[in-house]
Each structure stands twice: as structure tokens, then as C-alpha cells.
A and B are shown apart, each in its own frame.
Chain A
């Protein structure tokens, strides 16, 4: 049987290869194809900072995780962005009457796709600015590209410290993890009065690793005890082994610093192991799939960027406009994405041009009120904003974030 198969196949392949080698027309075609490919690549090459602006619509790009593990982030940020773009276009646009044209790219929750998406937006679609990502790992993957082409990038919600350190074209409109970790540690120590905590971190996510370090450092500084962090990977579904290990060390509270999909399963499996202590997470818990944690979510707390309960008219205006357009309550990610468009619009109007370097300078001088608080760029291209602590509750198939307290920076 085996011999028969080889005999039948082998000669075919050999003869095909021989054909290929001898036929010069084929070779010519191949050369032409390769040459064409190079030309195409050259045509895509874009000089850093050159906007190639010829009037007309102002093209802006957004990349996000519209599908995959982080889909809730992508969808919320797209909706927040779309709402802001629609409002600005309805109110007369930017740069004296020009309209925004928003292009959205899906990175499938993968860092390598995030780089591809930003490369495409900048080199092919020639956007004047890039908005995104939410997950720090994907922002870190794409930021060097925006920096290289001198196209400003504004991340709505990547809190890892290193994101804006990539270069002077990278901005964000949210607080950073050293502050978020401090807020969580203070709340756990002062309000929940816990003294010994365990931390579960997602070793694949820069966000989770950074937030873990910050929580541990701040909690120790307050005088608390922090157990050695235990690690898992994005996409894991069985946490019982690590949770059983954590249980044997009897912590008063558990931090899960990863994203919402895993957080839902972690809380659930912890409760299944009889672990009733409070659990805490960062803004990465804000995602639709968190509701998968069901009743296990009771007695959990998160730090967040904004609270939809805030009576401030700017917040309520946003909440009601969002509700009308998308038929649901906006989450913090949507609010931050909305703010990122407002920041970009303000900077474009002050720069009076779409050129990268001038727009960058205008962005660095940003100071305006936003839905998520005052948006004042500091020297590190971050904004110093207060954080809110919310209690997560689950009732009737829905997750609610109940406002507990606000903690100011400094």
C-alpha cells in the first residue's frame, strides 16, 4: 500500500519541479510578480509625520478587540468612539466644518493583529490619528508603529505604565496602574480591613503583571502581608488547582488582576471551593462576560474610571445619549473611548492642522472636562484622575457596579 502511494505521487512532484526549473516564461512571471510586490510595498511606504492632507474628511482610525477574549472591550470602545464622532459631526465637525470619517479595525484580541491593524490604518488608510487599544499588551504592540510614523495614538483605557513611555506620540486618557494598585491596596487595607492577601495574575498580560506589582508594593507599604502571587494564562478555564493552593494559605482577601473573562471563572471556582472572602480586581473586570461569575460575584470590589451614577450633567448627558443610540448602559471603557475622541477633536481644533508633529504638540497641552473627569495631560502624556471603587453585585442575570467611594491621586 505504502509503495503504491509513493510511486503514484513521487514522479508527479519530480516532473512538476523539473518543469518549473526549465520553463523561462514561468520564471519571468515570477520575477514580475516579485517586482510588483516590491512596488506595492514601496507605494505603501509613508514618510513619518506626513499627513498628506488635501482637505475633505478627517480620517481617524480605531483598532480594538471586536472579537475574541476581549470582545467586550472592543465593542464598548467602538460604541463610545462612534457616539462621540456622531455628536461632533452633527455639531459641525472639526477644523472649521470638516467631518470625521472613522475607520475601525478588529485585532481579534491578538497583539500581532493589533500591530497589523495600526500599520494598515497608518500606511494604507492614512489616518491622522489612531485611537486604541484597551488591553495594555495590545497597545504596547501597536504603539511603536504609531511612534515610528509620527501619528498620534490615544489609548482610551490601557493603564500599564509603559504604554505612553513608548514615545512622545503615545497618549492616554485614563489613570495608570501604579495609581490603580495604590487605590485598591488602600481600599482593601482601610475599608475592608484585610491584612493578608493573595494575588492571582495573568502572566500573559502586561496589565495584570504591572497591576499585581503595584498592589503588592502598596499593600506591603501599608503594613499588610502579601502572599507570593500565583500565575495563570489568558484563556485558562480551570483555576481550582491554584485556588486550592491559595486557600491553604488562608488569605483574608484575594486580588485577581487579570481581565473579566478569567475573573468570572476565578470568582466562581473560588466560591465552589468554599472561599467566601472578598475578592478584588482592577478596571480589567469591566466586561460583559463578567456576568458569567453569577452569584459568586457578590462580595467583590473593583477600581474603575467612572461611575454612571455620578450626577454631573456631563456624565448624565453622555449616559442618556449612549442609552438612546445603543440601548444599553455605557461602561467605563465606552466613557473613556468617548473622551478620547473629545481630546482628539480639541487638539485638532487647537493645532488647526492634521500634521502629526503639530497635532502631537496640541495633544500634549490638553486640558478639558471629560465624562471620566478632568482630562489634563501631564509630562508623561498620562492624565491624573481620581479612581472610583465599586462593589460588584449580581441579581436577576445582570451585573451592577455600585459606587462605593472615590479616591483622589496624590
Chain B
């Protein structure tokens, strides 16, 4: 029983990581119908931004919660800027071409960030400083660290915040209008370029939070860290119903639980295959995902 509950906690903590990143995928897709494959790499840049900031503040020697929040904010700002730059120079020029063009551009940006990252940061993994002193809580045979707890809480809070922004604010209304029909939204006086830039900034800032949180719990960061995690988060977004914010959360947690469950069997080395097996099944049997509704495509 202890083992089962522990695996549940393990799966939840892992799933919360995927969910954090899946939120960004799903939001950009919701607005632009673009799968931003570079999102996983923005997550990597977020972790590196956090790494440099935390080292500049010397947080490894004197861990503090205030410092950790400052580092997260800084990484969010840096990634928001990177997101805007990527949108402006990579996606906007091809926005009016076919969707496939944008998709291929996204893959290109992803590769640029991964291998550019190897040139700039080097391929050798780095250790993320311990910004918050690690603590372990025990509840009847089940252990959880404060960092894992933090990831779960942050993911849930951000999900609600995002729901609020999209459905209750003015900019959220503009985002939904842009998503519904870009040209009509423009005719109605919405500055769609600004809205799209904001969407990217917000999505990238979320990725930065993910990067810093994950690096706190699993302190090894390298330029290719966004590759596999990003792909799995993408599957999580598809599983939950891409474009659907609570769906991304559910998808992430499900992928995390499934991976953990497989990790506990004799097939532990096949755990990376879980996400992709799920992707194939979802696309075969329920392409709209768990929470998604199938919409007739306008032609």
C-alpha cells in the first residue's frame, strides 16, 4: 500500500512537470493553431536563465525563498522576451503561408535553440544550484520533497491563472477572438500582432517557470533537456485535448502516472516509449483528446 501511494506521488510529481510545459503548448495552439515545437527548448532556456541568475545571486551558498522567487521572475522575463523574439522573427514572416510552413519553421527554431545552446552553454550537463533547502516530508510511509510539492502546487495555480486570463480578462477575450478568426478579429480593431506576441510571451514565461521548478527537483540541466521532456509534454497536450487548458493538466498527470507505473515493472527502460504509444492510440481512437471537442474545420 505504501508502495502504491508512493508511486502515485512519484507519478503526480513527474506529471506536474509535463503539465507545466503542456500548458504552454496548448495555449499557443489554442490561439494560433501552431504546434510550437520550440516550446520544450524555451523551457531549457528558462532553466539556463535560472541557473545564471541563481549563480549571480550566489543562492547555492545562501538558499532563500525570496531569492528563488526573484530567479523565477527573472527567468520568466528572459523567456518572455525570447518568446516574443522567436514569434517576431521566425513565425510572423510565415504566418500567412500554409500551416505546414509554420510547423517546419517551429522544428527549425527548436533545432536552432538545441544546437545553438550546445555552442553557447556547451554540451556538458550543469548542476542547478539549490535555491531552496531540500526538505522531506513523511506521511505514513510516503515521502515527498518540498520541491516536488512546489511543482504540483505551482502547476495547479498556473493552470487556474491561465484559465482566468483567457476567460476573464480583456486580453484573454482578444486572444479568443484571434483564435476564432484572425482576419475578422483584426477588422474589429484588435491588434492581433500584439495579441499573438502576448500569447508567446505568456507561453514562454510558463515554460521558464517549468524549467526553474524542474531544475530545482532534478538539478541536472543541459541544452538537450527540452527535447524529450518537450515531446512528452506535447503528447500530454494532445492527450488532454490540444487547445484545452485543464486538458493539458490532466494529460500531463496521466503521462506521468503511466510512466511511473511502467518504471515500477520489469520494463523500466521502455518508459520513454509510453508517451509515444499513447500518442499513437490517441490519434487512432480519439484525435480530439480527452477534454477536446471535435470541431468541423472551416474550409
The chain B residue sitting closest to A271, CB to CB, is B136
For residue A109, which residues in chain B have a CB less than 8 angstroms away from its CB? 123
* Interface residue A277 (Cβ < 8 Å from any Cβ of B): no
B7 at interface by CB-CB < 8 Å: yes
- Interface assignment of B169: CB less than 8 Å from any CB of chain A: no
Known A-B contacts A274-B136, A291-B127; the reply to A241 vs B220 at CB < 8 A is: no
Kindly list chain B residues whose C-beta atoms are within 8 Å of the C-beta of A264.
Answer: 220
CB contacts (< 8 Å) of A272 on chain B: these are 134, 136, 143, 145
Chain A residues within an 8 Å CB radius of B97:
5
Alpha-carbon separation in the docked complex, A363 to B271 (Å):
45
Give the complex CA separation of A247 and B263 in angstroms.
14
B263/A242 in contact, CB under 8 A: yes
A240 sits at the interface (CB 8 A): yes
Q: With an 8 A cutoff between CB atoms, is A244 at the interface?
A: yes
CB pair B220 A244 closer than 8 Å: no
CB distance from A393 to the nearest CB of B (A): 18
Task: Tell me, yes or no, whether A261 is within 8 Å of chain B by CB.
Answer: yes
Number of interface residues of A (CB under 8 A): 36
How many residues in B have their beta carbons less than 8 Å from beta carbons of A? 38
Expressed in whole angstroms, the Cα–Cα distance for A69 and B222 within the complex equals 9
- A232: Cβ under 8 A from any B Cβ: yes
- CB of B124 within 8 A of chain A? yes
Contacting pair A247 B3 (CB below 8 A): yes
A280 within 8 A of B: no
Set of chain B residues within 8 Å of A232, measured between Cβ atoms: 268-269
Asked whether A5 and B98 contact (CB < 8 A) given A242-B264, A244-B3, the answer is yes
A245 touches B136 (CB 8 A): no
Min Cβ gap A79→B in Å is 15
Contact present for A245 and B3 (CB under 8 Å): yes
Instruction: Render A255-276 as a binary contact track against B, CB cut-off 8 A, 1 for contact.
Output: 0000001001100000111100
Query: Would you give 17 A-B contacts (Cβ < 8 Å), ordered by A?
Result: A1-B98, A68-B124, A69-B125, A71-B123, A228-B266, A240-B260, A241-B7, A241-B11, A241-B260, A241-B268, A241-B271, A244-B3, A245-B264, A247-B6, A248-B2, A261-B220, A291-B127
Residues of A within 8 A of B (CB): 1-2, 5, 67-69, 71, 108-109, 203, 228, 230-233, 237-238, 240-242, 244-245, 247-248, 261, 264-265, 271-274, 289, 291-292, 294, 397
Minimum-distance CB pairs A-B, first 5: A241-B263, A71-B124, A240-B10, A248-B3, A67-B123
